[in-house]
Amino acid sequence: MLLIILLAFWTRPFWEDSAREFIPEAVSDTFHSAKDFTTQTIDNDFDFDKVRDQATSLYNSVIDSVQEKEQKQVEKPELATPDEQSFSIGNVELGDAKNDVEEMYGAPSRESENEYGVDWSTYHENYQNFMMVAYDEQEVVRGLFTNQDLLSSQFNIALGDTKAVVNDTLGEPEELIRNGLFNYQITSEGEYDVYQIDGNYVTIFYDIHEGNEVTAIQIIDEDLEAAKDSLYTTGSEELKEGFEYQLFDLTNSTRVNHNLPVLEWNEAARETARKHSTDMAENQFFSHTNLQGQSPFDRMEEDEIAFTTAGENLAYGQFSSIFAHQGLMNSLGHRKNILHNGFTELGVGVAFNDNNQPFYTENFFSNQWLY
């Protein structure tokens, strides 16, 4: 194996230019392209130690990549039909106690603030069996979300069912959400339906690129929904960070659904992404190119982030990271970045404008050569 890798390095000048024509072009409405590093060449004065070290480093990165892809499969819990509610996720229903949830799943992997003023507690095993649970002050379950095969229902609705099946089973979805202080129209453009069932708002998300199949579900207690005093929650540092980590976790849980390795959190990329979100929010524009004419690649290079391939996704105005992520997955260009096999790291940055509308920026990248 090492000799093969050494041979690749020695003959690199002969194949590198011809191979470059296969680098993917930028995709519509997102940035996703390869960064060309042709300045890294082997010295004319042959240095075997240097080549050996480079080859060893490449070999180790290949082994690491293979190991990442061969994720250990985690057994899915045996699901039961819910007793008290119409829907349950991972055998958890609204009204259950936190102690009972953690008896089944242990401590959460992460707790981060959401738009309802409480935390999403995230449970998963390397992003398998992924679900998010919101508790109230009495540590009772008031919100649930999953985008994996953990859904049980008295209606026999499951992930993978079609929108047509859902509508035939549950009837016409709600057209607006009624709040004590305000009502707001649901304009989902077919990407999700909202039903009011058991005193809860049940949002069923569809994948429009996979035959309008059910791809995720969120269940929110109507009292928790009614506690919001405006359409957009007032922005704060805690909510900003919560949206960032939630979008990161949602991205990885989706990648696991598609048998892709999980991405690593990159703090430097988070800062780059957050600065761009702040720039857009403060200066009232929405674009991958900022007002100084810098592309995502320019901004990453300015922040000294080394990459061989990189991509950027943007979203604006969605109520939460859940809605932002589901919307990005229904856009082919953004979806391609989320499911790109060559990316290894991700930083997410969020900022709010004066109307508390969130701007989301995702910076994906890898600094490994893919041969």
**2 belongs to a structural domain:** no
| Spatial separation of the C-alpha atoms in residues 94 and 238, rounded to whole Å | 25
How large is the average pLDDT for residues 165-175? 96
Maximal C-alpha separation, the chain: 77
**134 belongs to a structural domain:** yes
- Of 226, 256, 284, the residue at which a domain comes to its end is 226
**28 belongs to a structural domain:** no
The pairs formed by 292-298 with CB atoms below 8 angstroms and a separation of 24 or more are 295/31, 296/31, 296/363, 297/31, 297/33, 297/35
- The answer to whether residues 250 and 221 belong to one domain is no
Mean residue pLDDT of the chain comes to: 85
Three-class SS state of 55: helix
- Of 226, 250, 285, the residue at which a domain comes to its end is 226
| Single-letter amino acid code for the residue at 353 | N
C-alpha distances in angstroms, 129 versus 43, 253, 349?
49, 9, 26
- The answer to whether residues 247 and 207 belong to one domain is no
- The answer to whether residues 109 and 136 belong to one domain is yes
| Spatial separation of the C-alpha atoms in residues 73 and 249, rounded to whole Å | 18
**201 belongs to a structural domain:** yes
Contact residues for 315 (Cβ-Cβ < 8 A; gap 6+): 324, 327, 328, 334, 359, 360
**27 belongs to a structural domain:** no
Phi-psi region for residue 193, left (φ > 0), alpha (ψ -120 to 50) or beta? beta
**314 belongs to a structural domain:** yes
CA angle 138–226–354, rounded 5-degree value: 110
- Of 186, 206, 226, the residue at which a domain comes to its end is 226
- The answer to whether residues 244 and 355 belong to one domain is yes
- The answer to whether residues 303 and 358 belong to one domain is yes
Three-class SS state of 69: helix
- The answer to whether residues 158 and 215 belong to one domain is yes
| Spatial separation of the C-alpha atoms in residues 326 and 269, rounded to whole Å | 22
| Spatial separation of the C-alpha atoms in residues 62 and 8, rounded to whole Å | 14
**72 belongs to a structural domain:** no
Domain carrying residue 272: 237-366
| Spatial separation of the C-alpha atoms in residues 207 and 192, rounded to whole Å | 9
Could you tell me the CATH number of the domain that includes residue 192?
3.40.33.10
**33 belongs to a structural domain:** no
- The answer to whether residues 244 and 159 belong to one domain is no
Strands 110-113 and 151-153, how do they pair?
A: unpaired
| Spatial separation of the C-alpha atoms in residues 64 and 58, rounded to whole Å | 10
User: What pLDDT, in 10s, does the model give residues 338-366?
Assistant: 999 999 999 999 999 999 999 999 999 99
- The answer to whether residues 206 and 244 belong to one domain is no
- The answer to whether residues 210 and 268 belong to one domain is no
Is pLDDT of 129 > 70? yes
| Spatial separation of the C-alpha atoms in residues 30 and 104, rounded to whole Å | 40
- The answer to whether residues 318 and 269 belong to one domain is yes
User: What pLDDT, in 10s, does the model give residues 46-100?
Assistant: 333 443 444 444 544 544 554 454 457 788 899 999 989 999 999 999 999 999 9
- The answer to whether residues 127 and 208 belong to one domain is yes
Smallest CA-to-CA distance from 30 within 368, 360, 370 is with 360
* % of the chain beyond a pLDDT of 70: 80
Confidence (pTM):
0.82
User: What pLDDT, in 10s, does the model give residues 188-231?
Assistant: 899 999 999 999 999 999 999 999 999 999 999 999 999 888 88
| Spatial separation of the C-alpha atoms in residues 245 and 248, rounded to whole Å | 5
Smallest CA-to-CA distance from 118 within 102, 139, 101, 99 is with 139
65 phi and psi angles, rounded to 5 deg? -65, -40
Query: How many domains in the chain?
Result: 2
- The answer to whether residues 220 and 98 belong to one domain is yes
Helices 2-10, 12-19: crossing angle, 10 deg rounding: 80
CB 122, CB 110: distance < 8 Å? yes
Phi-psi region for residue 206, left (φ > 0), alpha (ψ -120 to 50) or beta? beta
Segment holding 103, helix H or strand E: helix 98-105
Lowest mean per-residue pLDDT among 4-13, 33-42, 52-61, 350-359: 33-42
